[in-house]
Amino acid sequence: MRPDGTRIGLDVDMCRAIAAAVFGDADAVEFVELSNIDRFDALRYGEVDVLIRNTTWTYTRDTTLDLAFTGITYFDGQGFLVHADAGIRTIEDLDGKRICFKTATTHELNLDAIFTSRNLSFDPMPMDETDLAILMFQNRRCDALTSDQSELFGIRTALAEPDSAYVMPLLISKEPLGPSVRQDDPEWMNIVEWTLFAMINAEELGVTSDNVAEMSSSTDPAVQLLLNGAESDDGTLGLDAGWPTQVIAQVGNYEEIFARNLGDDSPIGIKRGLNALWTEGGLMYAPPFR
């Protein structure tokens, strides 16, 4: 959140991209704050149209909550934030330590699994709110704070003394994060899904917010299909023709939203890693527009 109240973040930009696709206006979006406990019911009962909130795509969530995941915006994993001067650098160093985490997440199950498999133990300290978990960590009431690693980098950056904390490179889980929608509206699911795919394809094809107007006249067939051929005369998704152009022009391609919110153009400075394009050794991949 900026000082003027403007929301920022990868998930925020994904919401804005969907608004640009549907309304031609990236600002035509209403953000609703939800707790971990309330988020799925809010989606199921129509309080929100799409849930984009550090939510891991899992078997149980995909098959029992009447919702559908529409892609992966960030390949994450559960990690640990520890005190830099505590000498904790490996999973074995966490044996018997106090570990804070937020309730109603997959984090406690992952902790139980990894510690049990290695014959280690830990003192669980579940917290209802992330802010409380952070406060407990800052006051050294817990030895480690566990969450998705991307969130831990953000927490570290926001500390009064970021160098006092260390994000361990260790990951103990797969946490594919992405948008989810209700299962009862396949057209809406396709819109959310293909908005993300448009941004990934745009990065792969070199289409950015700066050059999208110029690229609209490109002779490259793949670029033409992305920017100008996504909708048939009948309106495949019920959107205006050229809607991907609006998404890229107003919000950017995937590389742009990653860089400004998490990467080199942000205070967090996370490397692309698994979230690099498949052509660059990462996992980020989208079906083609054809």
> Domain with 84 in it: what CATH number?
3.40.190.10
pTM of the model: 0.88
Pairing label, strands 98-102, 123-127? parallel
User: What proportion of the chain, given as a percentage, has pLDDT over 70?
Assistant: 98
Residues 201 and 167 both lie in one domain: no
**CB hemisphere CA count around 287 (13 angstroms):** 9
Q: How many residues does the chain have?
A: 290
Residues 190 and 104 both lie in one domain: no
pLDDT of amino acid 53: 84
Is residue 5 domain-resident?
no
Is residue 18 domain-resident?
yes
The span from the CA of 125 to the CA of 102, in Å, is 9
Domain termination residue (choose one: 142, 173, 204): 173
Residues 42 and 118 both lie in one domain: no
pLDDT of amino acid 228: 85
Is residue 14 domain-resident?
yes
- Please name the residue that has the structure tokens 């406990």: 37
Residues 111 and 192 both lie in one domain: no
Domain termination residue (choose one: 155, 173, 191): 173
Query: Are 52 and 15 spatial neighbours (Cβ–Cβ below 8 Å)?
Result: yes
Range of the domain at 266: 10-74+176-275
Please give the tally of structural domains in the chain: 2
Residues 93 and 219 both lie in one domain: no
Q: What are the angstrom distances between the C-alpha of 253 and each of 141, 247, 248?
A: 41, 8, 6
Chain centroid to CA 102: how far?
17
Query: Are 268 and 157 spatial neighbours (Cβ–Cβ below 8 Å)?
Result: yes
Query: Are 277 and 205 spatial neighbours (Cβ–Cβ below 8 Å)?
Result: no
Direct distance between the N- and C-terminal alpha carbons of the chain, in angstroms, rounded to an integer? 38
Give the confidence band of 106 by pLDDT, cuts at 50, 70, 90: confident
Is the per-residue pLDDT at 231 higher than 70? no
Domain termination residue (choose one: 156, 173, 190): 173
Residue 12: both structure tokens together: 């925020």
Output the average pLDDT for the chain.
93
Residues 50 and 192 both lie in one domain: yes
Residues 69 and 82 both lie in one domain: no
Residues 194 and 123 both lie in one domain: no
The average pLDDT across 101-125 equals: 92
The average pLDDT across 194-201 equals: 98
